Amino acid sequence: MKRPYNLFSDHLKELFGRRIHKISIDAGFSCPNRGGTRHLPGCIFCSPEGSGATGIKRGASIRDQVEDGKEVMVRKYKAGAFLAYFQSYTNTWAEPAELRGCFDEALAVADVVGLAVGTRPDCLAPEVLDLLADYHRSTYFWLELGLQSIHDRTLEFIRRGHDYRTFLTAFSAAKECGLRVCVHVILGLPGEDRAMMLATAAAMARLRVDGIKVHLLHVIEGTPLARLFREGGVKILDQEEYVALAVDFLERLHPATLIHRLTGDGPREQLLAPLWSLRKWEVINAIHDEFKRRDSRQGALCAANDVAP
């Protein structure tokens, strides 16, 4: 049965002729939004360990992290090919020579067929973009760019340390280099109503973003958001609300945009809310069911011109 949205993993399978699995890497970078001249402790939802996947062998060499990730993926999924995903913190906040060493180390591991590099829109100096363009020309490459929301009021509240204009400048520069760009957004941010969240979807449709990761706001122990949550200062979406919003959001995206993620969670031992987010496949199945109930699909309500894939 045809999916109601354009799933990234399907794209990879069509391109490579087999399933490709991502291996998350912590390269030991930090983030300009923590301390330094900004005097900020980071985004309100980000833990002291940084935003990223669980299970990473932090402190190990990049090669060892990739090899360890391969072992897990082979055991669980009989995987045979991989993308090295530089996920934790800001993976362009270093000199190009250091970045090249990290990326080359990952690509040198057998069966790694490409790279994904996660970063912030205020950490893409011209010389770094030139480096990323080199990888785009030589391997399969994605730039993952954290935005979260198009609304400056929200970005200020969550302490992103940049505004929407900064994102637009970075996105434009990345596209001029020919890069595939996956944009990260969060549904359920404090102070945002449905209209604001769907405005973010419409903006991503106008930009014709190559890919998108849709996260739900979740509360991790040890974050400023955790304190707000305990004080009653932030409302967390329930599963039914999130499912409806996720479908609303995808209906307004361009139909050609690849969907890299539809939900999100946190480490089970640190997650305060919403606990329903741990039931990932239940959430994804509910999103599928909602598309079916509406007889709808990704892009059905896209207002961008020339929406044909």
The pLDDT score that the predictor gives to residue 35 is 57
Q: What is the pTM of this model?
A: 0.94
The pLDDT score that the predictor gives to residue 308 is 44
The pLDDT score that the predictor gives to residue 306 is 52
- 259-269 pLDDT per residue, tens: 999 998 788 89
- 192-250 pLDDT per residue, tens: 999 999 999 999 999 999 999 999 999 999 999 999 999 998 999 999 999 999 999 99
Neighbour-count burial for 239-250, b at 16+ CB within 10 Å, e otherwise: bebbbbbbbbbb
Q: Which tokens in the block code for residue 52?
A: 């990223």
290-293's contacts with Cβ under 8 Å and 24+ in sequence apart are 290/243, 290/244, 290/246, 290/247, 291/4, 291/5, 291/247, 291/250, 292/4
The pLDDT score that the predictor gives to residue 267 is 86
pLDDT(15) > 80: yes
Mean pLDDT of 97-109: 97
Q: In 10 A of CB 177, how many CB atoms?
A: 18
Question: Taking the domains of the chain in order of start, what are their residue ranges?
Answer: 8-294
Average predicted confidence (pLDDT) for the chain: 92
CATH of 8-294, one of 3.30.1360.200, 3.40.50.1110, 3.20.20.70, 3.30.70.960: 3.20.20.70
Q: Which amino acid is at 157?
A: F
pLDDT(54) > 60: no
- How far is C-alpha 291 from the geometric centre of its chain's CA atoms? 22
Note whether 117 and 91 are within 8 A (CB).
yes
Least confident of 74-83, 97-106, 174-183, 245-254: 74-83
pLDDT(304) > 70: no
Q: Which tokens in the block code for residue 148?
A: 């979260």
**What does DSSP say about strands 34-35 and 82-86: parallel, antiparallel, or unpaired?**
unpaired
Considering only CA atoms, give the Rg of the chain: 19
pLDDT(39) > 70: no
The pLDDT score that the predictor gives to residue 226 is 95
Which residue, among 260, 258, 243, has the nearest Cα to 296 in the 3D structure? 243
